[in-house]
């Protein structure tokens, strides 16, 4: 399944049906009078957040959504049938933005959440409703209220409890593979990860979702590398796991580069709680690791956890710290198993 996290679509609600002009004509009825019915209401545009989806790829091929209009009224005071509502299903975490992307019109964070986005037009009045004591045979009628339409952007921000950040080849994909069954691609070249990857970590009767995004490089905020657009997928995270490659020439400088890109992006990312993992320590001598940990602590003013995603060293300590930062689950039932889990799209 292809990943797409932004899509532009056109939506239009249904117009109201036209009211009828009709007069009662029955044998032996001396006075018939008007009996034109009202028009039916047009269909609404409704968005619904559904679980199991993690992409907006369907909206690349279907970009226009129009709800049916209401049917016209008829004689014998019969109201026209209303147009069916058009339900648009989107993944949980989707935001609906204005065409200029300046305003968030709706934000879906709860499975099953529904929003009537555009209301269909009301039906027009039939001539029976215009009858008065002085206007016994009205011929006027309502044409129905018009539809509403607009171009909007859909933007998906994946829902995760923890987000992985770091330079390319810092070991983020290796880590998520070690603690989940996500099966992220691992390669000895930059930008192995080209789209966000989710995995479910299950430890000690706890379960949380972790998100791996493409690596950041200096100048990502200005479009360097893959850019920083994917940072939107970790805006909702409660904690960030910042992995630093201990085998690089300047691990402290690399840490500052990533922090600078988070600050340049905004969205409160730089202020989120962070867990720092000094990765690939199995390639260094213990004395070198201890020296790097001290330097990184001084630069970050935070605890630094030495670890190795490939060798498994220190991984459990990192997971424990993430659980502490995420806090207790919100009404989620505890699990009895202690095995890695996986997340897969439906």
According to the annotation, is 280 in a ligand binding site?
A: yes
Instruction: Give the C-alpha separation, 213 to 274, whole Å.
Output: 16
Alpha helices in the chain (DSSP H): 58-61, 172-179, 251-265, 286-300, 315-326
According to the annotation, is 281 in a ligand binding site?
A: yes
Instruction: Give the C-alpha separation, 299 to 117, whole Å.
Output: 48
Phi, psi of 290 (to 5 degrees): -60, -40
According to the annotation, is 215 in a ligand binding site?
A: yes
According to the annotation, is 257 in a ligand binding site?
A: no
Angle at 49 between CA 82 and CA 90, to 5 degrees: 85
pTM for this prediction = 0.76
The pLDDT tens digits for 182-210 are 666 665 545 556 677 888 888 878 888 88
Half-sphere exposure of 67 (CA within 13 A, CB side): 35
The pLDDT of residue 46 is 97
According to the annotation, is 169 in a ligand binding site?
A: yes
Find, among 346, 7, 344, 2, the residue nearest to 154 by Cα: 7
According to the annotation, is 295 in a ligand binding site?
A: no
Burial group, residue 337, by CB count within 10 angstroms (0-12, 13-18, 19+): exposed
Q: Specify the 3-state DSSP secondary structure of 234.
A: helix
According to the annotation, is 309 in a ligand binding site?
A: yes
According to the annotation, is 299 in a ligand binding site?
A: no
Confidence band of 221 (pLDDT split at 50, 70, 90): low
Find, among 63, 245, 268, the residue nearest to 169 by Cα: 245
The pLDDT tens digits for 235-279 are 889 999 999 999 998 999 999 999 998 898 888 888 999 999 999
According to the annotation, is 52 in a ligand binding site?
A: no
According to the annotation, is 171 in a ligand binding site?
A: yes
Whether the pLDDT of residue 234 is over 50: the answer is yes
According to the annotation, is 170 in a ligand binding site?
A: yes
Phi, psi of 127 (to 5 degrees): -70, -15
According to the annotation, is 214 in a ligand binding site?
A: yes
According to the annotation, is 213 in a ligand binding site?
A: yes
Sorted by where each starts, the structural domains of the chain and their CATH numbers stand as 1-156 (2.70.210.12), 162-326 (3.40.50.300)
Find, among 130, 154, 187, 197, the residue nearest to 63 by Cα: 154
Alpha carbon dihedral 101, 215, 158, 175, in 10-degree steps, equals: -170
């Amino acid at each position: 399944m292809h990943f797409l996290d932004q899509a532009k679509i056109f939506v239009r609600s249904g117009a109201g049906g036209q009211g009828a002009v009709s007069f009662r004509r029955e044998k032996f009825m001396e006075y018939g009078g008007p009996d034109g019915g009202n028009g039916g209401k047009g269909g609404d545009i409704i968005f619904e957040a559904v679980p199991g989806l993690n992409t907006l790829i369907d909206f690349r091929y279907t970009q226009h959504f129009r709800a049916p209009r209401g049917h016209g009224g008829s004689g014998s005071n019969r109201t026209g049938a209303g147009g069916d509502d058009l339900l648009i299903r989107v993944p949980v975490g989707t935001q609906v933005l204005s065409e200029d992307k300046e305003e968030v019109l709706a934000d879906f964070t709860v499975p099953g959440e529904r929003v009537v986005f555009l209301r269909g037009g009301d039906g027009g009045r039939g001539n029976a409703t215009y009858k008065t004591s002085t206007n016994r045979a009205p011929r006027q009628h309502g044409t129905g209220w018009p539809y509403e339409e607009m171009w909007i952007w859909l933007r998906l921000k994946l829902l995760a409890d923890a987000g992985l950040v770091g330079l390319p080849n810092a070991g983020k994909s290796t880590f998520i593979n070690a603690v989940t069954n996500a099966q992220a691609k691992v390669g000895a070249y930059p930008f192995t990860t080209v789209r966000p990857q989710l995995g479910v970590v299950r430890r000690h009767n706890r379960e949380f979702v972790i998100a791996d995004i493409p690596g950041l490089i200096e100048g990502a905020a200005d479009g360097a590398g893959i850019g920083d657009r994917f940072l939107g997928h970790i805006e909702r995270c409660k904690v960030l796991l910042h992995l630093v490659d201990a085998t690089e020439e300047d691990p402290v400088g690399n840490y500052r580069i990533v922090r600078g890109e988070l600050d340049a992006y905004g969205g409160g990312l730089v202020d989120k709680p962070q867990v720092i993992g000094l990765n690939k320590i199995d390639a260094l001598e213990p004395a070198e690791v201890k020296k790097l940990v001290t330097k990184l602590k001084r630069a970050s003013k935070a605890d630094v956890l030495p670890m190795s995603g490939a060798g498994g060293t220190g991984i459990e300590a990192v997971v424990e710290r993430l659980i502490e930062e995420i806090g207790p689950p919100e009404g989620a039932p505890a699990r009895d198993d202690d095995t890695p889990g996986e997340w897969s799209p439906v």
